[in-house]
Every structure is written in structure tokens, then in C-alpha cells.
Structure 1
Amino acid sequence: MNKRRPILYALTSILFLALSLSGMAQIQPKNLKKHIYYLSSDQMKGRGTGSKEVGKAADYIEKQFKKYGLTPKGQQGYRQHFEAKVRRVVVPDSIRQATNIIGFLDKGAPYTIVVGAHYDHLGTGHQGSSKDSLGVGKIHNGADDNASGVAGLLELARHYSADKTPKPYNILFIAFGAEELGLVGSKYFTEHPTLPLENIQWMLNMDMIGRYNPDNGVAVIGYGTSTAFPQIFADIQSPLKFNLSKDGNGGSDQTSFYKKNIPVLFFHTGGHEDYHMPTDDADKINYEALKAIIELEVKVIDNSMKQGKMNFTWTN
């Protein structure tokens, strides 16, 4: 028997194990597709705030957080409950119960990065904001807005929970409720934080990241909100076009953190003809581009981790 063969077998086994372990944490389009197709199916009836179906979406997200071993960081387990008011139209149930789902990846660090995305949408059009003049009564599935962002949130949670080594930052994953009623969930969290706001170094938000247009690229909004971001982005490359925008205010849940002087980055692929329409469906998502966007976010978070305790000086 060749004496080198056992050594070769051992090296091959080690290499296979290493590849297998790394593969566990890779961003997977099949996972993104599974999450989006579930959350934006007709059975979820558009995930309107206060609906039974948005409750099912919350259950689904909590189940994934548990699966990834995230520590509950709500006020009741993973849950942070609050009330949201429908202001845009008059409906019988104007005051609705809503929930943030919050999971904590404890890396033994004094500071934390927040990763967020909202999971509610317009329901069947009765709460307002539909762009369809005949949209009341129609299911608004919200595949891009914002099942795509939730899928990104869950894949980032899976990716980072697979790494058991200490890091210079913890990560707080938040699925926000009632965004469509005026950023209510993120506002509530920043007014009732479940960890001190002064310990949050910066916040990454995903809202509508599923309809990449190569002519427009990915907007990365908030680049100018911290003196640290130019250093973090200095060596980052992506197969996708991405555009860095200085202002972090407006458009989605990162605004609530921005207003607390917390640096933010908001990833967004822009508007399209299906925005707030019943036609925002899962089969229109560009899953390979969505994967690349999340991989870009991984590079941003990793560079933040590599830099350690940076000077995240707020700039407005």
C-alpha cells in the first residue's frame, strides 16, 4: 500500500469538510426563493398589518430565527408588540396590533450592528397605498416589497450564525412590522430599544432588493452618514453596479435610526411598474441578482468586522 495514500485521504477529507462547512454559510438562491414564495403567496393575502396572515409571516420569521440559534431580544421572547394606526383611509379597524421580530447574534462584543427589513405589506388594499385604482379587494403579494428584504435578512442571519468565532460586533436582526403605515415598527423600536441605542454602531436596511435593473444598479443610501463608510467600501467590488448615495433619510426603516443619529446603509433596487400593485409577484424576482446584492452586503459587514472598533462618527 502506498504510504502517501492515507495522508492524501486525510488531506482530501479535511478539504472536503472545509468546503462543506463554508458551503453551509453561503448565500443560497434556493433559500431566497423559498422565503419569497412563501411570504408572497396568495395564501398570505398581502400580509396587511393586523391580519391573521401577517401573524403567520411573523411566526415563519421567528421559526427561522430559532433555527439559526438567535437569542430572543424582543420584550416577549422574539416579539416586540405595538399598535399601528391606519391614517390614509377610513376603515373600521383603524388601530391594529403589530409586532417586530427581534433576534440577537451574540458575539461577545460591546457594540452591535443592526440588520433590518420590514415584513408587512398592503394586504388586500383596504389599508391604503395601492397604486391600482381598482386595487381594493385584490391581494397585494409584495414579493419585492418586501419579501425580498426579509429573504435577505434571513439569509444573513443564517450566514452569520454559522460562524461561531468571536467578532468585534454583535448583530441584531429585526423584522419590522407596520412599515407601510409609516415606519411604525422601526420608530417604536428606536423609542423602546431592547438594547441601548448608544451600543449600536450602524444599521443596514433592506427594502425592495429583488428587481435589479443593470441600467440603474443598486442604490446604497446613507454612505455619507458615517466617516467610517468610505474606508469600509474602499476595496469592495461586485459583479453588480452599485451607487453610493450620501443622504440616509427617507424611504424606509433606516430613517428611524438616522433620526437617532445612528449611521445607516439602505440597499434598494428602485421602483418599477409593479410597486404597490397586485402584480408584485415572486416569479418576477431576479434571484441571482438578489444573491449578489446580499453577498455585497456580506462584504460590507465583513469589512466592518475586520476594521474592529472604528470611529463611526455620525455625519449629517
Structure 2
Amino acid sequence: MKNKATSVSFFLCLFLLAWSATAIAQIDQKQLKKHIYFLASDKMKGRGTGSKEVRKAADYVEKHFKKYGLKPQGEVGYRQSFQAKVRRVVVPDSIRQADNIIGLLDNGARKTIVIGAHYDHLGMGHQGSSRDSLGVGKIHNGADDNASGVAGLLELARHYTTNKEIEPFNILFIAFGAEELGLVGSKYFTENPTIPLSDIHWMLNMDMIGRYNPNGVAVIGYGTSSKFPLIFEGITSTIKFNLSKDGNGGSDQTSFYKKNIPVLFFHTGGHDDYHKPGDDPEKINYPDLAAILQLEIDVVNNSMKYPSMDFIWTN
């Protein structure tokens, strides 16, 4: 009897280990590296709003949305076009054309979860916001800010379109343009939504999730719905995460929060390369980036247990 119990325990442990390995394997670090090294390469010249390189980044996102079978949910195909203005510095071309890239995983559900990340950065530093006075004129690659978030967006799109499940919610994936000029893309979407805002369950934003450190990843917006404490109940991770109540912040979730939509913003914090030419792909912490995305999957999946979510104003 003892030997049989030992055998059962052994095989149970093997099963749990195999299940755990499968869960972690949902995130493909090779794909994350591929996305970040493309978006943050010197050839992309920092993806400044209005540049031909940021248009290449938009094409790259759209190509993957098509590959994953997302339904076009822009105003023309996947695109939602708008104008953004450079305000921090005086430049001759202050009005720039920009695009949000929008794709829908249509599960035929009543409610939709929005997952977003901005794909623009500072270009050569001429549009303002560079923190390196000697770096203006140099390429600001923006690997962490925000190629890391776009890589996460694409990897979550790949996961949810290939997991052979039909979730009880639709998922809308948005790559925002012109965030660095003042959250312009997300503001434009929330003022000109391509799905009714009333149909949005909640919004998840990723901005600078590539430089995990021992202090943990910040999860901002925990207080914007009474359901979030229930959603996080029982969730564990290989990384530390810190829950913050405030829904406001310097990224695109703020535009949704101001429309009374619950939000979460994942962010690994500032660093010496923030808005400087040294924000390069080799400095990204890829294993922990994958762990952050696994945490997000757990949160998204748990949120699907609740047919509706209230909104709480935290300011």
C-alpha cells in the first residue's frame, strides 16, 4: 500500500511538473527577441512619429495581426489614422500622420477585453523628450520603450489565437501610435472607438516591461475595479509583482481610465537608459519578460470568470 501511494505521488508530481512546463512554454522567448531586435534595430531609427521607419513598424504589427487571423477592426482595414502634433520643441513638420493598428479576436461574445501597447518612440531625439542633451541626433532605439510592450502584444495575440480555445470574451489588440507625443493614439481611439466603449470589459496596457529588476513589476490600476482583488486571488508567479491602485499614469491606459473603464498597466520601472540612445535590445531581460506575459495571461483568464466589472475612480 505504501509503495502504491508513493508511486501515485511520483506520477502526480511528474504531471504537475509537466503542466507547469507547458504553462511557461506558452510564451516564446525567441519570438520576443525577434520582435524587439527588429523594432529596436538601428535601421528603424527610433520609430519617430511620422517617419518612414514608424510606418515600417506599423506594417510589421499589421503583418503579424494578419498572420494570427485577427479581424481588422480599424477604420480602414487594421488602420485607424489620425494626426499628431509635436508640442515640446519647434520643428517645421510639427503635424505628423500616425496610425493605430487594431485587430480583433472575435469569439462572438458580448464583451471585449482590450490589450494595448504603443509602438512609436523618439526617433533621432528631435521631436522632444530625450533625456540626453548630447543624444539629440542619435538613434533612440526604444527597446524597452516600447518594443518590449509591442513584443508582448504580439506574443499575447499569438497565444490567444493558437490556444485552441474559444474564450467567453472577445480580445481587441491595439498597437497605439504617437504615445510619445502625449498619448495621442489612445486618446484618439477612445474618442473615436471602433467598438462601443460600453462593450469593453477592461483594458490591459504594456509599456516598458523589458527591464525587470528585483523590486518587481508594477501593476498599476488595481483599484479601478472591485473585481481586481478577486481576479488576483490565488495568482502566483516566478517574479514579484506590486499592485498599485491608481488608474492614472504616463501611458495609454490613462485614456481608457478617463472613460470610466477599468485598467491595468504593467511596467518594470525607469532606468538610466530611459529616453536615451542606450535603450538597446541586448539589455532586455527576456526570461522575466516572458514571466510577466505569463502573469498577464493568468490575470486575463481569471478576469473572464466575471461577466461584468464595475469601475472605481481612484483619484
Please name the residue that 2:92 is paired with.
Answer: 92
Contact 2:84-2:98 at 8 Å conserved across structures: yes
Could you tell me how far 1:254 is from its partner in structure 2? 0.1
1:313 and 2:313 equivalent?
no
Please name the residue that 2:282 is paired with.
Answer: 283
Pair 24,58 (structure 1): closer, same or farther in 2 beyond 3 Å: farther
Once residues 273 and 134 of structure 2 are traced to their aligned partners in structure 1, the CA distance between those partners, rounded to angstroms, is 14
Contact 2:24-2:291 at 8 Å conserved across structures: no
Contact 1:25-1:158 at 8 Å conserved across structures: no
What residue ranges of structure 2 are gaps of 5+ in the alignment?
A: 1-18
Identity %: 76
Q: Does the residue aligned with 1:37 lie in a helix, a strand or coil?
A: helix
Once residues 61 and 132 of structure 1 are traced to their aligned partners in structure 2, the CA distance between those partners, rounded to angstroms, is 29
In the TM superposition, 1:30-41 aligns within 5 A as 30-41=30-41
Contact 1:24-1:162 at 8 Å conserved across structures: no
Contact 1:248-1:255 at 8 Å conserved across structures: yes
Could you tell me how far 1:25 is from its partner in structure 2? 7.7
Once residues 118 and 62 of structure 2 are traced to their aligned partners in structure 1, the CA distance between those partners, rounded to angstroms, is 14
Please name the residue that 2:15 is paired with.
Answer: none
Kindly provide the amino acid, as one letter, of the partner of residue 270 in structure 1.
G
1:286-312, Cα deviation, whole Å (9 max, x unpaired): 00000000000000011112x1413x1
1:38-74, Cα deviation, whole Å (9 max, x unpaired): 0000000000000000000000000000000000000
Please name the residue that 1:13 is paired with.
Answer: none
Please name the residue that 2:152 is paired with.
Answer: 152
Please name the residue that 1:218 is paired with.
Answer: 217
CA RMSD of aligned residues (A): 1.6
Contact 1:205-1:265 at 8 Å conserved across structures: yes
Kindly provide the amino acid, as one letter, of the partner of residue 126 in structure 1.
H
Contact 1:205-1:254 at 8 Å conserved across structures: yes
Please name the residue that 1:235 is paired with.
Answer: 234
Kindly provide the amino acid, as one letter, of the partner of residue 209 in structure 2.
I
1:101-155, Cα deviation, whole Å (9 max, x unpaired): 0000011100000000000000000100000011221000000000000000000
Once residues 168 and 159 of structure 1 are traced to their aligned partners in structure 2, the CA distance between those partners, rounded to angstroms, is 16
Could you tell me how far 1:163 is from its partner in structure 2? 3.0
Could you tell me how far 1:166 is from its partner in structure 2? 2.7
In the TM superposition, 1:1-316 aligns within 5 A as 26-214=26-214, 216-305=215-304, 307-310=305-308, 312-316=309-313
Once residues 133 and 161 of structure 1 are traced to their aligned partners in structure 2, the CA distance between those partners, rounded to angstroms, is 43
Runs (4+) of structure 1 exceeding 6 A deviation are 22-25
Could you tell me how far 1:168 is from its partner in structure 2? 1.6
Contact 2:119-2:176 at 8 Å conserved across structures: yes
Once residues 198 and 164 of structure 1 are traced to their aligned partners in structure 2, the CA distance between those partners, rounded to angstroms, is 28
Moved more, 164-173 or 266-275: 164-173
Q: Does the residue aligned with 1:100 lie in a helix, a strand or coil?
A: strand
Contact 2:24-2:294 at 8 Å conserved across structures: no
Once residues 136 and 232 of structure 1 are traced to their aligned partners in structure 2, the CA distance between those partners, rounded to angstroms, is 44
Q: Does the residue aligned with 1:280 lie in a helix, a strand or coil?
A: coil
Once residues 281 and 136 of structure 2 are traced to their aligned partners in structure 1, the CA distance between those partners, rounded to angstroms, is 21
What residue ranges of structure 1 are gaps of 5+ in the alignment?
A: 1-18
Could you tell me how far 1:26 is from its partner in structure 2? 1.3
1:180-224, Cα deviation, whole Å (9 max, x unpaired): 00000000000000000000010000000000011x200000000
Once residues 73 and 44 of structure 1 are traced to their aligned partners in structure 2, the CA distance between those partners, rounded to angstroms, is 26
Kindly provide the amino acid, as one letter, of the partner of residue 40 in structure 2.
S
Once residues 111 and 23 of structure 1 are traced to their aligned partners in structure 2, the CA distance between those partners, rounded to angstroms, is 26
Kindly provide the amino acid, as one letter, of the partner of residue 314 in structure 1.
F
Once residues 174 and 191 of structure 2 are traced to their aligned partners in structure 1, the CA distance between those partners, rounded to angstroms, is 15
Q: Does the residue aligned with 1:97 lie in a helix, a strand or coil?
A: strand
Contact 1:107-1:165 at 8 Å conserved across structures: no
1:82-104, Cα deviation, whole Å (9 max, x unpaired): 00000000001000000000000
Once residues 127 and 121 of structure 1 are traced to their aligned partners in structure 2, the CA distance between those partners, rounded to angstroms, is 10
